[in-house]
Amino acid sequence: MIGYGFMGAAHSQGWRVAPRFFDLPAQPEMAVLVGRNAQAAQAAADKWGWNEAASDWREVITRDDIDIIDIVTPGDSHAEIAIAALDAGKHVMCEKPLANTVEEALAMRDAAERAAAKGVRSMVGFTYRRVPATTFARQLVADGRLGDIRQVRAAYRQDWLMDADGPMTWRLQKDRAGSGSLGDIGAHAVDLAEYITGLNVEKVSGLLETIVTERPLLGEGIGLSGTASTERGTVDVDDVAVFSGRFAAPEGGFSAVGSFEATRFATGRKNSLTIEVSGSLGALAFDLERLNELEFYDATLPSTEQGFRTILVTESEHPYLAPWWPAGHMLGYEHGFSHQVVDFVTAVRDGVSPSPSFDDGLHVQHVLDAVTRSSDDSGRWTSVG
């Protein structure tokens, strides 16, 4: 695993726990954790259960005892590491968004295609696809329970930046993160909407806004622990992204409309990823802050029986649930990373392409780019890709 921040902890949990609950076709060994700061990387490796730590990812990807590279670094290094690892014959899992630019994502997709021809697999980490309730929502749509999809409303709202004197981090620097709330959490809203509905966004009209343009720097460097200094740095990414979208119509079907929001200034919202899908036969709604529940509306029932009902998605028949706990015993945020490991390891061992692919990640990058171009053009409707 290359990187050891917040996502490093989450991915480590997934690698450590998945083999202990699921019957995997191969047993992953947590061989080495890589970070530029050797001391910090070693501390993270010791804490999370990695066999060793290293500071040179280029050396690690040449090792014969390494089969998989898991990338959890900031977006500015995704392309370089992923392409080198794939060309070295390593299977690659890469955190979202796939890259910082469309050009980087294209190069990564091309590298993935070259590698796939040699049996080397790759996947982008849109983990919320693997929350049992969202996977079950996709099944309901695919089974026709919602009929023709007409409208989608997706929002990812957090408030961790609402303090205007909160310090700078790498997530607020365009050269490191690529974009702000749009790429950080908006990418999840786009991917989840497309995953559940099976439809792709084809055009957008967007608005990006930076609410706080300067923030104090940390005494020991941006993104590191330390005390805030009097010096301030420029925030050059968006704090809020709001956009409308039009989905590509299925053959002979309706071109559904969507509304999307991504913000880190939604006061009181800690990690609220919500999606509501409305169709001709029914509707569903999901909220990550209540991730064991799915709201379902069946419009085919008599009017006297209609209304949203809550499905507790904890039965052994629900996706991913059988190896876990008895019904009603809840799962949490970290379980999606175990499910991600299960799907990735299974696909690699079975010799099939995992999902979401780098091509899926490239498509989301095209959507993010179209929103940016639309915002720069006063919200003009802009085609994706």
Please give the pLDDT value at position 219.
59
pLDDT tens-place string over residues 14-37: 999 999 999 999 999 999 999 999
Q: Cα(53)–Cα(91) distance, rounded to whole angstroms? A: 20
Sequence-ordered list of residues with C-beta below 8 angstroms from that of 237, at least 6 positions apart, any chain:
171, 172, 173, 174, 177, 178, 179, 180, 181, 182, 210
pLDDT at 221: 43
Alpha-carbon distance 82 to 332, whole Å?
29
Residues 20, 289: Cα–Cα separation, whole Å: 26
pLDDT tens digits along 250-265: 988 899 999 999 999 9
- Picking from 60, 49, 65, 64, the residue whose alpha carbon sits closest to that of residue 8 is 49
**DSSP labels for 95-154?**
ESSS-SSHHHHHHHHHHHHHHHTTT--EEEE-GGGGSHHHHHHHHHHHTTTT-SEEEEEE
Report the alpha-carbon distance of residue 215 to residue 172 in Å, rounded: 9
Label residue 229 by pLDDT band (50, 70, 90): low
pLDDT at 223 over 60: no
pLDDT value of residue 251: 87
Quote the pLDDT of residue 320.
Answer: 98
* Location of structure tokens 């849109």: 126
Q: What is the mean pLDDT of residues 141-167?
A: 97
Q: What is the pLDDT of residue 200?
A: 98
Ranges of each domain in the chain: 6-125, 129-331
Homologous superfamily of domain range 129-331: Dihydrodipicolinate Reductase; domain 2 (3.30.360.10)
In whole angstroms, how far apart are CA 172 and each of 137, 168, 206, 371? 33, 6, 20, 18
Give tens-digit pLDDT for 336-355: 999 999 999 999 999 999 99
Q: Beta strand pairing status for 91-95 and 122-125?
A: parallel
In this model, does residue 222 exceed pLDDT 60? no
Q: What percent of the chain has pLDDT over 90?
A: 95
**Residue 304 pLDDT > 90, yes or no?**
yes
- Is the predicted pLDDT of residue 226 greater than 70, yes or no? no
Cα 77 to Cα 266: distance, rounded to the nearest angstrom:
29
Give the chain's end-to-end CA distance (angstroms, integer).
31
**Is the pLDDT assigned to residue 302 strictly greater than 90?**
yes
Question: In the numeric block, which tokens belong to residue 110?
Answer: 């091309």
Most distant CA pair in the chain, distance: 66
CA distances for 33 relative to 9, 51, 338, 345, angstroms: 11, 8, 18, 18
pLDDT value at position 363? 98
Average pLDDT over residues 253-280: 97
Q: What is the mean pLDDT of the chain?
A: 96
CATH fold label, 6-125: Rossmann fold (3.40.50)
Element (H, E) at 312: strand 309-312
The pLDDT assigned to 224 comes to: 43
The neighbour count for residue 22, using CB atoms within 10 Å, is 18
Q: What is the pLDDT of residue 311?
A: 98
Q: Is the dihedral of CA 33, 85, 179, 155 positive or negative?
A: negative
The strand pairing partners of 68, in sequence order, are 91
Model pLDDT, residue 225: 45
Q: Which residues pair with 207 in a beta bridge?
A: 242
Closest to 165 measured CA to CA, from 102, 104, 232 = 232
Quote the pLDDT of residue 218.
82
